[in-house]
Amino acid sequence: MTRQHIRNLTMPELREVVTSHGEPEYRYRQLAKWLYEKLADTFADMTDLPAGYRDLLEAGYSAQSACVVSMQESAIDGTRKYLFELHDGGRIESVMMPYDQRTTLCVSSQVGCPLDCVFCETAKGKFQRNLTAGEIVDQVCVLKRDAGLAGRKVNVVFMGMGEPLLNFDEVVRSIRILNDPLGLDMGAKRITVSTSSFPDRIRALADADVSCSLALSLNAPNDETRSTLMPKAARFAIEELLEAANYFVQSGNRRATLEYILLSGINTKDEDAAALAELARGYPFKLNLIPYNPGRQSEFDSISEADIDRFVRQLVPKVPTVTVRRSRGLDIDAACGQLWTKSLTEKEKPVKEAGE
C-alpha cells in the first residue's frame, strides 16, 4: 500500500485524520508541532506521541516526500542550492538565500515548466508534472531544517521551477499550510507567488482564501518584445496582466511587484525604459529589476553596472519604487533551472534519503 504524505494535509484535514484514529483532539496539535515547528522528518522522532500511535502513522503515512540529491553552497554569499529527487524519480530545485536580516527560500511548483521563456534554463528540460502541496511544503521544511531555522520566520517565493498558477489548486493548498498558525505560520508579506501570465488565475488567487503577495514576471516593455522572450506567457496582453495584478492588490490590500529581467541590449534600451515607465505609471506596483544571470550555454550576456544605472535613472522619476535584485550564488548553479538541467545529463546519487 502506498503511504500518504502527511504534509499534503491542511490542518483541518490533519485534525480529521487524527480524530478518526480515535486519538484525542489535542494530538493533532502535537503532530503539527513536530511537522512544522520542529520540522521532524520521521514519526519515530515524535517522542511525546504514544509509541503505538507513531507505529500506526508510520504504517500509513510518510513524513517527507523528497530526498536531497545534491547541495551546492556559495562561498561568496552562503546561498545554498538543493536538488531534490521525488518518489517517482522527478527532480526539482530549491534555493536558500541568507541575507543580514532575513532568509528567503525559493521553491519549485512543477517538475520542469510547460512555458518556454527563452532566457530560462528550466525551459530547456521537459515538463513532467505538477508538484503536490506536500512536495512544495517539504521544500520549505527541509531547507529550514538544513539551515538550522526551526521555529524561525523565513520568506518563501514561488520562483523556482514551474509556473505556479498552472498548478493552481496545489499551490493554493500549500499556501494554506504555510499560512496556518499551526502550519508554518506565515503571513502575506512572507509569501510571494511569481507568475508570468494568466490574468484569470491571478484574479482567482486574489479571490482564494489565502494570504500571499504577487510578483508578475513582465520582462518586456511591450507585447511584441514579450512574445519573442516569453512566447506562451505572451498569449495574454500586458495590459490585461497589469489590470489583473491591480485587482489582486485592490481586492485584498495586498502587494504586487513587477519583475523585469535585464537582458543586455534586448530589453534595456532607452526606449524600453521609457515604455516600461509608461506601463507602470498609475499602478501601485514596485518594480524589481533583475540583472540576468547567464547559464552555462546562455545566448544572452550579463548587463554591465553602468547600463543598470542608466536604466534605473530613466525609471526613477516616473516609477515610485525601483529596486535591483542582485544575483545570488554566482559561483554555483543558482539561477532557476541550472542545477536541474545539469542533473538531467549527470545522474547523481541521493546524499540523504527521505525520512533518514
Which residues here bind ligand SF4, judged by CB under 6 A? 113, 115-117, 120, 122-123, 161-163, 196, 336
Contacts of 319 (CB under 8 A, 6+ apart): 276, 277, 280, 281, 287
User: Is 212 a residue of the active site?
Assistant: no
Q: Which is nearer to ligand SF4, 31 or 113 (CB)?
A: 113
Q: Which is nearer to ligand SF4, 196 or 268 (CB)?
A: 196
User: Is 336 a residue of the active site?
Assistant: yes
Angle at 249 between CA 245 and CA 255, to 5 degrees: 100
- Going from the C-alpha of 345 to that of each of 114, 130, 338, the distances in angstroms are 20, 22, 12
- Least Å distance, CB 11 to ligand SF4, is 30
Q: Which is nearer to ligand SF4, 41 or 93 (CB)?
A: 93
First to last CA, the chain: 20
Q: Which of 113, 120, 141, 336 is catalytic?
A: 336
335/320 Cα distance (integer angstroms): 28
- Least Å distance, CB 216 to ligand SF4, is 12
298/177 Cα distance (integer angstroms): 37
Which three cell numbers, joined as nine digits, stand for 80? 545554498
Q: Which is nearer to ligand SF4, 74 or 122 (CB)?
A: 122
- Least Å distance, CB 102 to ligand SF4, is 23
Contact assessment for residue 31 and residue 54, using Cβ atoms and an 8 Å cutoff = no
> Bridge partners of 286?
257
- Going from the C-alpha of 317 to that of each of 220, 256, 273, 280, 321, the distances in angstroms are 19, 20, 12, 12, 9
Contact assessment for residue 244 and residue 273, using Cβ atoms and an 8 Å cutoff = no
- Least Å distance, CB 162 to ligand SF4, is 6
Q: Which is nearer to ligand SF4, 95 or 277 (CB)?
A: 95
Contacts of 350 (CB under 8 A, 6+ apart): 67, 68, 69, 85
Q: Which of 67, 85, 93, 212 is catalytic?
A: 93
Contacts of 317 (CB under 8 A, 6+ apart): none
Q: Which is nearer to ligand SF4, 28 or 158 (CB)?
A: 158
> Strands 66-73 and 80-86, how do they pair?
antiparallel
- Least Å distance, CB 196 to ligand SF4, is 4
Of the candidates 96, 131, 164, 14, the one whose C-alpha atom is nearest the C-alpha of residue 339 is 96
43/348 Cα distance (integer angstroms): 28
- Least Å distance, CB 117 to ligand SF4, is 3
Q: Which is nearer to ligand SF4, 116 or 307 (CB)?
A: 116
- Least Å distance, CB 195 to ligand SF4, is 8
Give the residue numbers annotated as catalytic, written as ranges.
93, 336
